[in-house]
Amino acid sequence: MSFFLNIYIVLILSSMLSANIDLIKKENSDSNTTLLVIGGIHGNEPGGYFAPEILTTHYTITSKNLWIIPNLNEASIIANKRGIHGDMNRKFLHINKNDKDKKIIDAIKKIIVLPNISLILNLHDGHGFYRQKSEGNIYNPDAWGQTCVIDQCKLLRAQPFGDLDNIAFTVKNNINKKLLKKHHSFNVKNTNTKDGNEAMQQSLTYFAIKHSKPAFAIETSKNLSTLSQKVFYQLLAIEEYMKVMGITFHRDFALNEREISKIIKNYGTLVINHNFLLNLNNIKKSLSYIPIKSKSNEFYFSNPLGEVKKRRGKYLVYIGNRLVTILKPQYFKLSRNCQDKYDFVVDGKKVSLPKASEFYVNDDFKVIKGKNYRVNVIGYYKKGKSDESQTDITLKSLNKKYSADNSHKTYRVEFYENDEFCSMLLVHFK
């Protein structure tokens, strides 16, 4: 019944690199071979960041190493735009010192050139379906979708993964054995960057190539019918690159469009200030009277694409480019004398539940009276009652107007010490 975060290592590289980049490491100590997967350089290409989100939360690496940056261009992801400060993938050759993307560009460059980085994948959604010969407006040589993109055939300096052309064709051929539909076929697109392709000379992959780092772009098609199809092909391609590198792994789901669709819709949880939990699945479009501090609030997501933005006094909660809910605050001072656990009777059984957790009820529950706190069950009202401990709470006794979810089965149980906020637990009626 308690709340558990998905466990993964997240390093926020700020002081060293002067920019906040979420770098998630899945490592094994017996190897320096490391794949770096970069998602979200373009904010309107969701296949390129929902795939690394699943890679983070549903994959276990059993040999060698995987580093993941799921949301490089976070501000543009939230805005669902290619780049709110211009195209971030065209700033790796030259960048103005006043460019708002400069800190991020400088930071990712330092990560790319680290000695243990063995191969880089930059994830995109591209228009159309690439074909060597034109077959119409969508299927033609100018399209980028469904491609393994390379800047040149080989690295000039010999190294284990320097044969870019051979690796890309191996990956492409293996992907094409597992297509959802025949016309989704992948191809290799060689941009021959150094031979006058000025746009690609400014890209992340070519920056890596110039520093003798094998780098590829994965481009799934924007013309695919669903996001889950895009993510399916992104993950399929990433797995093939891991196989080339000898990185072994297992995932906790079957790699198919149906399972991916379920995972994408699972937004996970948000914990605020270590004492307030929200389950973001099926949450209402807005929630009022959220007890938080007037400033310096801390937000913790189980989903690596989670982000909170404050606008006009409200807190907007995002998962990737999706606005999940809007929180309307009620400012409280946080008590320093709060308990870590609270005693309940749930369906007739006494249980002790941790702060900022969620629990499930068949019939009823009540909070056992404590010495130093009062209880407010949001949605329950009885005239003259300011402390709702020692009260049997059923679903019928709650006003659905104050539920936290669209099914009207989830409610907040809040604890206060005098006028200072302690914690909130979330109760789900089955």
CATH number at residue 159: 3.40.630.10
Cα-based angle 90, 95, 98 (whole degrees, multiple of 5): 130
Rounded average pLDDT over 335-339? 91
Taking only the tens place, the pLDDT of each residue in 133-164 is 999 999 999 999 999 999 999 998 888 999 99
Rounded average pLDDT over 102-117? 97
pLDDT of 17 reads 45
pLDDT of 20 reads 80
Cβ-contact 50, 227 below 8 angstroms: yes
Rounded-to-integer distance, Cα 27 and Cα 32, Å: 9
- Domain membership of residue 413 (yes or no) is yes
Please report, as a single letter, which amino acid is at residue 74. Answer: E
pLDDT grade for 16, boundaries at 50, 70 and 90:
very low
- Domain membership of residue 1 (yes or no) is no
Q: For residue 150, what are the β-bridge partners?
A: 190
Rounded-to-integer distance, Cα 129 and Cα 112, Å: 29
Of the residues 265, 289, 318, the one at which a domain ends: 265
Q: Which residue has the higher pLDDT, 337 or 247?
A: 247
Question: What is the pTM assigned to this prediction?
Answer: 0.93
Residues 327 and 376 occupy one common structural domain? no
Rounded-to-integer distance, Cα 277 and Cα 91, Å: 39
Q: Is the pLDDT of residue 1 over 70?
A: no
Average pLDDT, the chain: 94
Of the residues 331, 364, 384, the one at which a domain ends: 331
pLDDT grade for 190, boundaries at 50, 70 and 90:
very high
pLDDT of 406 reads 98
- Domain membership of residue 4 (yes or no) is no
Relative to beta strand 129-130, strand 286-292 is unpaired
Cβ-contact 425, 413 below 8 angstroms: yes
Number of domains comprising the chain:
3
Residues 142 and 249 occupy one common structural domain? yes
Q: Residue 281 contacts by C-beta under 8 Å, 6 or more apart in sequence?
A: 265, 266, 267, 268, 405
Taking only the tens place, the pLDDT of each residue in 36-72 is 999 999 999 999 999 999 999 999 999 999 999 999 9
Give kind and range of the element (H or E) at residue 206.
helix 204-210
| Inter-axis angle of helices 227-245 and 257-265, nearest 10 | 110
Range of the domain at 400: 341-429
Q: Residue 11 contacts by C-beta under 8 Å, 6 or more apart in sequence?
A: 22, 23, 24, 25
Residues 20 and 96 occupy one common structural domain? yes
Residues 224 and 91 occupy one common structural domain? yes
Of the residues 234, 249, 265, the one at which a domain ends: 265
- Domain membership of residue 161 (yes or no) is yes
